[in-house]
Amino acid sequence: MSKPALRLRSWPLTVLYYLLPLGALRPLSRVGWRPVSRVALYKSVPTRLLSRAWGRLNQVELPHWLRRPVYSLYIWTFGVNMKEAAVEDLHHYRNLSEFFRRKLKPQARPVCGLHSVISPSDGKILNFGQVKNCEVEQVKGVTYSLESFLGPRIPTEDLPFSPATSCGSFRSQLVTREGNELYHCVIYLAPGDYHCFHSPTDWTVSHRRHFPGSLMSVNPGMARWIKELFCHNERVVLTGDWKHGFFSLTAVGATNVGSIRIYFDQDLHTNSPRYSKGSYNDFSFVTHTNKEGIPMRKGEHLGEFNLGSTIVLIFEAPKDFNFKLKAGQKIRFGEALGSL
């Protein structure tokens, strides 16, 4: 039997191996069979297809009488606080998508004016701190490559020479000012959280890079399980500059969150049926008529997810930048992340 055929036939056995009592399929090991790893088994699930199906289901208009029981179940399951919603009447939301993307009352999230960087969303702080050795922690003890996550800083076709690929050279492309350091912050949005995200500071967005990819779950348990999870998943990287140099915000997709929307980017289309693994699409907001890009004010609406997901901030700042956070804490949009 060929290796592909043997591998194919091993999938049903692997599922049984993890479902049945321990040792039930142990006799198969005598003939050389080994179960596929849990990670490989999970990666084989067609999460992009499932997410597109979920997205279409979200658009189906619910009968008026069914809206309250469906949304009430979701509110109870995920602890949603509807008193903060701009519209509290559950009958107002025609489908699940409208409910997920509900707006908040203006006074529900005051924006902190005393600190230079605020939380762009509601969520849970997974990790934060200085970027060391060009590795970023997705959760404590589990890292991913900064260059794999952001992609090359400068397109190689625009350079008169082949760019160096060492960690130091890539970091030097991001840190533009002497004495600055590179910082990161990872915020996980649970399904019950407010799904919109906002500008974390005053900055100018000059470039968008869209990585089509997998749509695996990004909950903290999965992030501990799969190395470089954020580099595998579909994501939209916005890069630009703030008063201290380089600044980026990345919206990472997840299972059932194929839809990532950036309000000022009408050309962005996520979770498309076809994509090449490892590919990315670039778009520049700098044009002949707009020499700088898209200016964003702190707290301004930036985009939204269709369910929970993850926001990753990577930026440069002076060495005396301090985070006002604790790993694992809950945070809300508008609250301080850190300042000088």
Which one from 51, 119, 122, 193 is the annotated catalytic residue? Answer: 122
CA gap 208, 258 in Å, rounded: 17
- DSSP letter at 195 equals -
- Name the strand (E) or helix (H) holding 70: helix 64-78
CA gap 340, 325 in Å, rounded: 14
Written as one string, the DSSP assignment of 140-166 is: TTEEEEHHHHH--SS-GGGSSSPPP-S
Which pTM value belongs to this model?
A: 0.81
From first to last of its 340 residues, what are the pLDDT tens digits of the chain? Answer: 444 444 444 555 555 554 445 455 556 555 555 555 555 666 666 666 776 676 677 788 999 999 999 999 999 998 999 999 999 999 999 998 889 888 999 889 999 888 899 999 999 998 899 988 777 776 555 677 888 888 887 553 343 333 444 566 777 788 888 889 999 999 988 888 888 999 999 999 999 999 887 766 666 666 666 666 667 778 899 999 999 999 999 998 876 555 788 999 988 888 776 666 668 889 999 988 888 899 999 999 999 987 668 899 999 999 999 998 988 899 999 999 998 8
Q: What is the pLDDT of residue 139?
A: 56
Walk across the sheet containing 322-323 and list its strands: 117-118, 336-339, 322-323
- DSSP letter at 83 equals G
Q: Are 337 and 116 in contact, with CB atoms under 8 Å apart?
A: no
**Residue 232 annotated as catalytic:** no
**Residue 309 annotated as catalytic:** yes
* Residue whose tokens read 């409208």: 98
Which one from 198, 210, 232, 244 is the annotated catalytic residue? Answer: 198
Contacts of 38 (CB under 8 A, 6+ apart): 18, 225
Q: What is the pLDDT of residue 97?
A: 83
Q: What is the pLDDT of residue 31?
A: 55
